[in-house]
Structure 1
Amino acid sequence: MNRETIKREKPLFIFDMGGVVVKSFHCVHAMAASLSLTTEQFFAISASVPERDNTDNPYNIGLIRHLQEGRITETGFWNSFQEATKTAFPYINLKIPEAYLRGEASLWGAYFYPQRDRAVWSILEQLKKQGYRVVCGTNTLEAHYRYHKKQGDYDIFDRVYASHEMGLIKPEGSFWQYILESEGFPAAQAFFVDDLEENAQAAERLGLRVHRFIDAAGLEQALSVQGYL
């Protein structure tokens, strides 16, 4: 397939947010420390709530999964987290501040300060200028979604597909199928960018063109070689 053929197809670009468009976005370590927990304890407590899928990714099981799927609110998360600690880890003396249990403050938002990757943002601007449709497909939760929206991190996208609003998360195939059906694109005409190998592989199995993100330079080279830039 030559460069001109690719351009005539006008593919749909689907970009992940955390780890691609923004960096320094992890907050669990700081959250756990504020509760006098180790990161390992935090993930273990969250994962102790039964979930239907087995995965090595601690964000995709238990209470964190429920939060990202929009099945529980942040208040529900902390109350369930506290109960799970009492049941599965009674030796841990966990004290969650009442402000979080009552929803008066957001601990998930308290330590969340991602920084936009300017080089990736420039690539997004180039794709947009060429008339491509560019959407965001992200596993997220309400507090983080609100932060990105306030900072304008979603402004460049034609549409944002957020897991907590969709009720679906990566790497479930239904996550991409929902986006493709909503956008009216076949899988072969979509190009997906994500930093996690499990997500990249899942999208590739569905027939999407995929780039496993390492850095902006590698992304720009891949897009240029394939005729998109």
Structure 2
Amino acid sequence: MLYIFDLGNVIVDIDFNRVMGVWSDLSRVPLANLQNSFVMGEAFHRHERGQITDEEFAAAVCDEMGMALSFDQFAAGWQAVFVALRPEVIAVMKQLREKGHRVVVLSNTNRLHTNFWPGEYPEIAEAADKIYLSQEMGTRKPEPEIYLKLLQEEGTPADRAIFFDDNADNIKGAQQVGITSILVTGKETIPAYFANNPC
């Protein structure tokens, strides 16, 4: 079987309020204002597809949110999204590989984050056979193309894959191409799934 794991709030806890907190401190824009104006809009999506640079993304977000930040200040806040690794999921990934299954990560991400988390959490690469990143694939979840590209690369039919993600739209996108998909609603979801479905 091919097991596909999302990154944020599946393998690593993330919290965008931490990002807003840093940006608020650096820009002096009230936190509530930033929280109200932050949206994952077109610039966000284009950045995840690798269609715009980090600098273009930072400028667009700062403009949308009324923040006067340098690129380094923006990046400092952007990296603050990562909270902590979920060791119970890393353990599951390693166990799956030990049993002969293929384990990969599929993440909607961007260069700014991939310059940070691999060094911060080397356990992720150690627990996965391959890491698929939206910015390198030119498409993002929940677009069907990203799942089809991954399956083609892995040489695996959809009915031999299981996908874990915390975003309901991403789950629907994977289901549309025939992948069994599990919505991760908390830290207990993945351990509980494998307790009930031993492989």
Report the TM-score, using the length of structure 1 for normalisation: 0.75
- 1-side partners of 2:185 and 2:73: how far apart? 38
1:130 and 2:121 aligned? no
SS at match of 1:136: strand
Matched with 2:139 is 168
Q: Is the 8 A contact 1:68 1:141 kept in 2?
A: yes
1:96 and 2:76 aligned? no
Q: Is the 8 A contact 1:24 1:114 kept in 2?
A: yes
Provide Cα deviations, 1:62-101, integer angstroms capped at 9, x if missing partner.
111111111111111123345x54xxx8xx5x4222xx1x
SS at match of 1:219: helix
- 2-side partners of 1:163 and 1:210: how far apart? 18
Amino acid at match of 1:204: Q
Q: Is the 8 A contact 1:188 1:208 kept in 2?
A: yes
- What does residue range 213-224 of structure 1 map to in structure 2 within 5 Å? 213-224=184-195
Matched with 1:195 is 166
**Shift of residue 222, structure 1, vs aligned partner:** 2.0
- 2-side partners of 1:31 and 1:187: how far apart? 41
SS at match of 2:4: strand
SS at match of 1:155: helix
Matched with 1:78 is 58
1:184 and 2:158 aligned? no
- After superposition, the CA RMSD in angstroms is 2.3
Change (3 A) 1:14 1:110: closer
SS at match of 1:121: helix
Matched with 2:84 is 115
- 1-side partners of 2:58 and 2:139: how far apart? 21
Matched with 2:37 is 41
SS at match of 1:191: strand
- 2-side partners of 1:24 and 1:79: how far apart? 23
SS at match of 1:14: strand
Change (3 A) 1:106 1:96: same
**Shift of residue 196, structure 1, vs aligned partner:** 1.1
Q: Whose Rg is larger?
A: 1
- 2-side partners of 1:108 and 1:65: how far apart? 19
**Shift of residue 31, structure 1, vs aligned partner:** 4.9
SS at match of 1:207: coil
Change (3 A) 1:42 1:32: farther
**Percent of residue pairs bearing the same amino acid type:** 23
Unmatched segments (≥5 aa) in structure 1: 1-10, 44-57
- 2-side partners of 1:204 and 1:110: how far apart? 31
Q: Which has the higher helix share?
A: 2
1:29 and 2:20 aligned? yes
Q: Is the 8 A contact 2:19 2:81 kept in 1?
A: no
Q: Is the 8 A contact 1:32 1:39 kept in 2?
A: no
Aligned length: 191
Report the TM-score, using the length of structure 2 for normalisation: 0.85
- 2-side partners of 1:163 and 1:127: how far apart? 24
Change (3 A) 1:199 1:222: same
